Each structure stands twice: as C-alpha cells, then as structure tokens.
Chain A
C-alpha cells in the first residue's frame, strides 16, 4: 500500500510503500491503521489509533495541524479498520517496522 499525503510525517512519508496486515485482533493505541474513510468508503485513510472504545476507535494523524481525522469525522467503527501498517519496504533506506 502506498502512502499519499503528509499527515503521518515524520513516521510515514508520501510515497512510502507499506506492508499492511489484515486486522486479526482489536487495534492497540499507538498502532498505525488503514481504515475506510467514514465520509467515502472507497477512500482509504492512514492514521494512528489514539483511543479504543466500545467497538470504535479514535484515530489521529501524527501531524495534528495537518490532519483530517476523528477530530473532524468522529470515532470510527472497528469494522472500518481494514488493516494495520506493519512494515515499510520502500524506500529501502528507511525500510523497517512501522513503530507504534
């Protein structure tokens, strides 16, 4: 999965290529998840989990001043989480695990 946009900098940059794992368990706070945009299900978003509630998660971009996230569209149902960003495989120079 390719990253577009700047809201997750410096952890993830535009053009990074990520290996995304399917959500086998409930996401944990701090993990970077791929989710369906609550405003447009065809659109995928990449955000960090800020809080996990009852069947819902609060997601935030790392760059709070440059991110559209739960502050704007509210909490997101767990069913909208499509995966967890686990590993960056490109660029090779910055390859490695996506840190929580």
Chain B
C-alpha cells in the first residue's frame, strides 16, 4: 500500500559514466574505418612518385593508419575488459575469440597496408558492435 501510494514517478541519477556508462563501440568503428580509408588512399597514390608532396602524404597516411589501428585496439580492449561481463559470455560464447582476433587484426593492420585485412577489421568491429547493442536491448 505504502509502495503504491508513494512510489516516486521520477528518477534522479547518481550515476557514474566512468566506469559504468561511457562504453560505445563507435570509437573503434571510426578507428577501423580510418585504417581502411588510409589503406585506400595509400593505394591511390601514384606508384613510384618521388615528389615531396606525395612522399609527405604517404608518410602521413601511414602514420595515421598505424595510430588508428592502435586506437582501435585500445577501444576494443576497453569494451572487452570493462564493458562485457560473464553473463554476456553466456549469450555470446564466441565473445573472447572475436575480441582476440579483432585485436590481432589491429596489429596486422598496423604492420601492413592490406585492404583485405582492413576489411576484416571493419567486419570484426561490426560483429563486436552488434554484440554490444544486443546487450542494450
């Protein structure tokens, strides 16, 4: 009776977004997309061009690709170690394997200029992203 009569209709949040709120696979997705874009742009450079502008662009694109492959790995590791809980593992038995392979793909993309590996990374991030959003339903 007490409960029904006096139950509040509004909620005030005394929440912490760190470590219990700011989890979002978007950062990993943007990083993976950046890697793929850089691979594409590097591939579009004129082969054998030695002018400083092309060389500068090449070095810059390689640097950005490697930086974002590293960012992607870090963002995935945050989701893996902090966001996903044992109960999620029951729902997604391949969770650890998916993260492990995605982290390895980050390294592969850091080391190589490989469009297929970049696409694999994007697909792995998408798979993780889908699991993440499935836990929010």
A interface residues, Cβ below 8 angstroms from B: 1-9, 12, 14, 17-18, 20, 34, 37, 43-47, 61, 63, 66-68, 72, 85, 89-90, 92
Contacts and interface: CB of A to CB of B under 8 A. Distances in A.
B18 A1 contact: no
A72 B20 CA distance: 14
How many chain B residues sit at the interface, stated as a range, is 10 to 19
Contacts of B12: 1-4, 18, 20, 34, 44-46, 85
Contacts of A1: 8, 10-12
B6 A7 contact: no
A99 to B, nearest CB: 15
Nearest 8 CB-CB pairings of A with B: A5-B15, A46-B12, A68-B17, A8-B14, A5-B14, A66-B16, A7-B14, A2-B8
Contacts, number: 73
A30 B6 CA distance: 27
Nearest to B18: A68
B21 interface: yes
Contact of B7 (A17, A44, A63, A68): A17
B82 to A, nearest CB: 13
A95 to B, nearest CB: 11
A38 to B, nearest CB: 13
A45 B11 contact: no
Interface in B43-98: none
B15 A7 contact: yes
A67 B16 contact: yes
B137 interface: no
Nearest to A89: B6
A68 B21 contact: yes
B14 A47 contact: yes
Contacts of B18: 68, 72
Given A9-B14, A34-B12, 12 more contacts: A2-B8, A2-B11, A2-B12, A3-B12, A4-B11, A6-B15, A45-B14, A46-B12, A46-B14, A63-B16, A68-B17, A90-B6
